[in-house]
Chain A
Amino acid sequence: DQQVKQNSPSLSVQEGRISILNCDYTNSMFDYFLWYKKYPAEGPTFLISISSIKDKNEDGRFTVFLNKSAKHLSLHIVPSQPGDSAVYFCAATGNFGNEKLTFGTGTRLTIIP
Chain B
Amino acid sequence: DAGVIQSPRHEVTEMGQEVTLRCKPISGHDYLFWYRQTMMRGLELLIYFNNNVPIDDSGMPEDRFSAKMPNASFSTLKIQPSEPRDSAVYFCASRRRGPEAFFGQGTRLTVV
Tell me the A residues contacting B by CB distance below 8 Å: 2, 6, 32, 34, 36, 41-46, 49, 89, 91, 93, 96-98, 100-106
Contacts and interface: CB of A to CB of B under 8 A. Distances in A.
Contacts of B99: 32, 34, 49, 93, 96-98, 101
B42 A101 contact: no
B42 A89 contact: yes
A44 B98 contact: no
A56 B63 CA distance: 43
Contacts of B41: 2, 105
B42 A106 contact: yes
Contacts of A6: 42
Contact of B101 (A32, A42, A101, A105): A101
A102 B45 contact: yes
B5 to A, nearest CB: 11
Interface string B40-73: 1111110010000000100000000000000000
A100 B104 contact: no
Contacts of B109: none
Given A2-B41, A43-B91, 15 more contacts: A34-B99, A42-B105, A42-B106, A43-B93, A43-B105, A43-B106, A49-B100, A98-B98, A101-B101, A102-B45, A103-B44, A105-B39, A105-B40, A106-B42, A106-B43
A100 B106 contact: no
Interface range on chain B (Cβ under 8 Å from partner): 20 to 34
Nearest to B55: A100
Contacts of A104: 42
A98 B55 CA distance: 13
A98 B4 contact: no
B97 interface: yes
Nearest to A101: B101
